[in-house]
Amino acid sequence: MAPVQQVSMCNHNEIDDTIGTEINLMERQVNIEEIKKRIMKLNLANGNVMNSHDKSGNCDRQDNLKGPEGKVLVLYTGGTIGMVRNEIGALAPIPNIFVDTVKNYPYLHDRAYADKELNNSGSLVLPITGTDNRRIIYDVLEYSPLLDSSNMTMDNWIRIANDIRNSYEDFDGFVVLHGTDTLSYTASALSFMLEALGKTVVITGSQLPIFDSRSDGLSNFLTSLVIAGNHNIPEVCVFFGTQLMRGNRTSKVASASFEAFASPNCSALAIAGIKIEVNYHSIFRQSALEKFHVHKVLNRNVGLLRIFPSITADLVRAFVQPPTAGVVLQTYGAGNIPANREDIIEVLREASKRGVIIVSITQCSKGGVTDLYESGKLLLEVGITPGSDMTPEAALTKLAYVLSKTDWDINTKRHMMRSNLRGELTTCSVNGQFCQVEDSDLVKTVSLRGDGVDVSQPNGDGRTILHLACCEGDLKIVRTLLEMGANVHIKDRFNRTPLTEAVENNFHEIIKLLLQCGAHLHESSLVLGEKLCSAAACGNLKRLQSLHIAGANLSLSDSSGRTALHHAALHDRTATAQFLLEHGADLKHVDLLGHTPYALAQISGAKNIMKILDIASNVSNSKQFKNIA
């Protein structure tokens, strides 16, 4: 599926030209007004979660939470940040010592809490502070071999993307520890490869290792963990110094400074001071109603060519020869090349006609390309695509991504290169001039009409308008919020997501819509087992259906080892048992006392349950016999 373009604020008249999911603001006006009313209700309910609790009158147990926790996966790929000094005092990457070393630092690992609460799981945990919303528990996946970032390749980007995909539902956020030299390339590539991203990915590194006495690595690592575990910013970000920046807007600007990265054409997403101040309006929000997935293919036949005085046509011709499929052309100033070099212009024209996609960006660190000057207009005439204010790193990795989309024709690919897919560029449109504005989402577009709606900003309890809409069961409002970029993964301070609200109020269509947008059950197997068993004991068939639709395994057990089928048998819930059996519940599961569901049905005298269990057992045995035969 094609990525969805972000709506630009540059020119309100051009909203209808956006690609992907187009939004008719006039048709939504009624929904927008209703959303505003619900936001007011949400703010009034701040500090009172009674309106979010299950309203169906069931006897489900409440989640037994020892306190809110954020789970983060750290992908340690290498780089200075994890190095230690060897026997001669030189910095070196030494495998398999990072986690053990971290455990010796009390500001990186709360050993007492881990020993008491984590049951030797091997996870690390940050000490709680007064400024953190939740305790951060993190696991470290160390790469082998550890990579100097100058050795990083597209294969490594694909591996990182796959590792995030494989653990996506198990963690609230991700931190990638990376060398600084190619960090911006990796951040840019991942921003395109991670499609429909709904969780925070922070890439960080350092100029000095975490374990040095004077280090930027410690602060960068700690703050990245806190951001990834506490804040839902569904982008690939770079944290360095005090700024959280959009990854595909960054470049390394200093080789030895602690402020080594900058984002010259896009303001920071967050600033880390005494508190972490998030600029919610700057967050790029995907509005596609689809699950997170990874695009695992990149076209490697791309390159960067920088125009310089007296560059020869032969050099340019050699650069654009097959197998080259795409070129990022770094031009002078606002997109200029020598207008008197017909030989170079003809080479570029021929390459463009052959299907080579050539994207023009500026050699300047600030600003972008325009067609104000003669040479800039000339580039458009020969088929070169303007790249606005993209960084070289973003332009190159985006080109590799776009060219790998085999279902797009050449015109679509060129259109995508000048379109804003992940917040990587600022749309140019006002009188043909480059327009410096903040990247935005539909919420900002709506605010142009005086509505001022921010659908993902939480209240004091961490609850969003999507939580409330899912609690109240308004499918139209939920759909509108999701199309406006509302995030399905945000947890309130009671560890409840919008999906939790929909499940506990049995709104099946909303559950399906949330799942379509990538929502998933985040509770542990034990907590889900308790919920299933409680619903079965009460005969709450709707709740079991809700949990099943949401993806719960109906054979999960509670702390006694009993499944929902055990409890249905024990409490003689015939309809419940029938539903569980129809959906694959385990007939032969044994609880801690050695009882099967059938044994509990015998104990409780549940004759109807015994009959349907006998029938189900015979059917199961018959299928097994056929498989053996």
Domain segments of the chain as ranges: 17-50+447-516, 70-294, 302-417, 525-628
Per-residue pLDDT tens over the stretch 600-628:
999 999 999 999 998 888 876 555 434 43
Lowest mean pLDDT among 51-60, 548-557, 562-571, 616-625: 51-60
User: Is 186 considered catalytic here?
Assistant: no
Contacts of 176 (CB under 8 A, 6+ apart): 74, 75, 77, 160, 186, 190, 201, 202, 203, 204
Residue 19's pLDDT is: 35
Position 109 confidence tier, pLDDT thresholds 50, 70, 90: very high
Mean local confidence (pLDDT), 162-189? 97
User: At 23, is the pLDDT very low, low, confident or very high (cuts 50, 70, 90)?
Assistant: very low
Residue numbering of the annotated binding site for substrate: 149, 180-181
Residue range 496-546, pLDDT digits in tens: 999 999 999 999 999 999 999 999 999 989 999 999 999 999 999 999 999
Q: Do domains 302-417 and 525-628 have the same CATH topology?
A: no
The 10 Å Cβ neighbour count of residue 267 is 15
What confidence score (pLDDT) does residue 2 get?
42
pTM: 0.81
pLDDT of 569 strictly over 80: yes
Report pLDDT for 445. 36
CA-only gyration radius of the chain, Å? 28
Binding residues: 149, 180-181
Mean pLDDT (whole number) for 470-479: 92
Instruction: Examine the pLDDT at 44 and tell me if it is beyond 70.
Output: no
Task: Please state the CATH superfamily assignment of the domain spanning residues 70-294 in this structure.
Answer: L-asparaginase, N-terminal domain (3.40.50.1170)
Are 302 and 399 contacting, i.e. CB atoms less than 8 angstroms apart? Answer: yes
| Active-site choice (80, 200, 324, 397) | 80
For residues 420-440, average pLDDT: 58
Of the candidates 244, 263, 395, the residue with the CA atom closest to the CA atom of residue 328: 395
Find the helix packing angle between 574-582 and 607-628, rounded to 10°.
10
Q: Is the pLDDT of residue 243 over 90?
A: yes
* pLDDT mean across residues, the chain: 84
Sign of the CA dihedral running 479, 483, 484, 490: positive
Dig out the tokens for 315 from the structure: 């050099």
One CATH from 1.20.1440.120, 3.40.630.30, 3.40.140.10, 1.25.40.20 for 17-50+447-516: 1.25.40.20
Residue 282 makes CB contacts below 8 A (sequence gap 6+) with 266, 267, 268, 269, 438, 439
Least confident of 28-32, 306-310, 402-406: 28-32
Confidence of residue 169 (pLDDT cuts 50, 70, 90): very high
Give the model's pLDDT for residue 453. 55
The 10s digit of each residue's pLDDT in 193-205 is 999 999 999 999 9
How much is the average pLDDT of 97-118?
91
The stretches of 49-105 forming alpha helices (DSSP H) are: 98-102
* pLDDT at position 49 over 80: no
Q: How far is 178 from 81, CA to CA, in rounded Å? A: 7
Mean pLDDT of 473-490: 91
Q: Of 31-40, 302-311, 558-567, which gets the smallest average pLDDT?
A: 31-40
SS3 252: strand
Contacts (Cβ under 8 Å, ≥6 apart) of 300: 154, 400
Q: How confident is the model at residue 82 (pLDDT cuts 50, 70, 90)?
A: very high
Q: Is residue 455 pLDDT above 70, yes or no?
A: yes
Say if CB 168 and CB 102 are below 8 A apart.
no
- Rounded Cα–Cα distance for residues 499 and 521 (Å): 7
- The model's confidence at residue 257, banded by pLDDT at 50, 70 and 90, is very high
pLDDT at 318 over 80: yes
Whether 200 is a known active-site residue: answer no
* pLDDT cut 70: percent of the chain above it: 82
CA angle, residues 257, 259, 265, in degrees to nearest 5: 130
Could you give phi then psi for residue 192, rounded to 5 degrees? Answer: -90, -35
Architecture of the domain defined by 302-417: 3-Layer(aba) Sandwich (3.40)
**pLDDT higher for 493 or 95?**
95
Phi, psi of 175, rounded to the nearest 5 degrees: -125, 130
The set of residues, in sequence order, having a beta carbon less than 8 Å from that of 40 and lying 6+ positions away, is none
**Quick one: 525-628 is in which CATH superfamily?**
Ankyrin repeat-containing domain (1.25.40.20)
Lowest mean pLDDT among 116-125, 222-231, 357-366: 116-125
Helices (H), 80-182: 98-102, 111-117, 154-166
User: Is the model's pLDDT at 3 over the cut of 60?
Assistant: no
Average of pLDDT values for 153-176? 97
Report residue 344 as tokens. Answer: 């170079």
Catalytic residue among 77, 180, 385, 497: 180
User: In this predicted structure, what is the pLDDT of residue 288?
Assistant: 77
pLDDT at residue 309, as a whole number = 96
Is residue 86 a contact partner of residue 94, using CB atoms and an 8 Å limit? Answer: yes
**Is pLDDT at 22 greater than 50 in this prediction?**
no
At residue 65, does pLDDT exceed 60?
no
What's the CA gap between 223 and 230, in Å, rounded?
A: 10
Contact 584, 544 (CB under 8 A): no
Residue 438 has pLDDT above 50, yes or no: no
Q: What pLDDT, on a 0 to 100 scale, did the predictor assign at position 120?
A: 76
